[in-house]
């Protein structure tokens, strides 16, 4: 069994234990999970994890509500407002990504001050969780993941990477792009971020056109990495449209079947998966245990 498979197996075991414990403890727990847009495929997977963990909560008389953003244009303030909504509705536990700390921290602290257990997931880190009084952080180390991606590109001959960010301002994605640039720079290369308006998220035509324009403008770019599976699909199309398939390598975060097919056919170098199902499942199960133990 590979190291990654062992980690995945351990996480699944932890999830199973957590929700089993939650079934015994979380009588009447009222849990709220703040998440991304309803049409975001990544957060659809997170919601599946939340919904599956909710089965045990509901079996014991509790409830789990998933509060979703309408847009990513004001992601931090909107997420903070959803935390306040959860507080006002009597939350017994809140799971929330800390996308923009300066816009969300006050709301998270208000929940903690009110005695509501909070889990940071998807965006943030364990240090932020500790500082805010949250009970845990469930997600990836974005700097480390980004550096690994940049290093991998460098090891496969890339010298100039473009990190495409369709949710600029989100701290986890800014950190991810910085890590990618740091990783390739450590190997003697260079990189830059291509920030696109948040309105371009989920718009494959807008993303593809922006990447195509960047590739045509700067012939030195020899690699592109995206922050989502959908953006990788758009990037693959833009690389073809720019006649750069032999010149530009493609990497991405998160996976779908199209990305896996491209990797199999040498049209994409790699993906970095952050286990969205487990993020939603474990965040909810952890709160079920904590809220039920109060």
Residue 214 to residue 246: CA distance in whole angstroms: 16
Q: What domains lie within the chain, and their CATH numbers? A: 3-139+276-293 (3.40.50.2300), 142-272 (3.40.50.2300)
| Residue-wise pLDDT tens digits, 1-40 | 343 443 343 344 344 444 444 444 446 789 999 999 988 9
Q: Which residues of 200-220 are buried (b: 16+ CB within 10 A; e: fewer)?
A: bbbbeebbbbbbbebbeeeee
SS (H, E, C) the chain: CCHHHHHHHHHHHHHHHHHHHHHHHCCCCEEEEEECCCCCHHHHHHHHHHHHHHHHHHHCCCEEEEEECCCCCCHHHHHHHHHHHHHHCCCCEEEECCCCHHHHHHHHHHHHHCCCCEEEECCCCHHHHHHHCCCEEECCCHHHHHHHHHHHHHHCCCCEEEEEECCCCCHHHHHHHHHHHHHHHHCCCEEEEEECCHHHCCCHHHHHHHHHHHHHHCCCCCEEEECCHHHHHHHHHHHHHCCCCCCCEEEEECCCHHHHHHHHCCCCCEEECCCHHHHHHHHHHHHHHHHHHC
Look at the pTM and tell me if it is higher than 0.75: yes
pLDDT per position as a tens digit, 94-137: 999 999 999 999 999 999 999 999 999 999 999 999 999 999 99
pLDDT under 50: residue ranges of the chain: 1-26, 293-294
């Amino acid at each position: 069994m590979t190291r990654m498979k062992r980690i995945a197996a351990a996480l699944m075991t932890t999830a199973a234990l957590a929700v089993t414990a939650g079934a015994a403890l979380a009588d009447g727990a009222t849990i709220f999970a703040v998440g991304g847009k309803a049409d975001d495929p990544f957060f659809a997977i997170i919601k599946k994890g939340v919904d599956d963990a909710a089965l045990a909560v509901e079996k014991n008389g509790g409830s789990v509500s998933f509060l979703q953003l309408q847009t990513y244009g004001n992601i931090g303030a909107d997420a903070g407002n959803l935390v306040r909504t959860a507080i006002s509705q009597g939350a017994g536990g809140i799971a929330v990504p800390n996308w923009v700390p300066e816009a969300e921290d006050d709301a998270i602290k208000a929940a903690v001050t009110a005695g509501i257990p909070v889990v940071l997931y998807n965006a943030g880190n364990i240090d932020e969780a500790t500082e805010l009084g949250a009970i845990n952080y469930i997600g990836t180390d974005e700097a480390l993941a980004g550096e690994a991606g940049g290093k991998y590109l460098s090891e496969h001959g890339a010298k100039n990477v473009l990190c495409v960010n369709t949710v600029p301002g989100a701290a986890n994605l800014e950190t991810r792009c910085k890590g990618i640039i740091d990783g390739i720079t450590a190997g003697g290369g260079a990189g830059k971020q291509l920030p696109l308006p948040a309105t371009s998220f989920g718009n494959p035509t807008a993303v593809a056109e922006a990447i195509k324009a960047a590739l045509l403008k700067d012939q030195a770019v020899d690699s592109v990495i995206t922050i989502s599976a959908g953006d990788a699909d758009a990037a693959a199309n833009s690389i073809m449209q720019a006649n750069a398939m032999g010149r530009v390598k493609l990497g991405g975060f998160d996976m779908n079947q199209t990305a896996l097919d491209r990797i199999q056919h040498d049209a994409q170098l790699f993906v970095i998966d952050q286990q969205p199902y487990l993020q939603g499942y474990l965040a909810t199960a952890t709160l079920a245990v904590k809220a039920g133990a109060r």
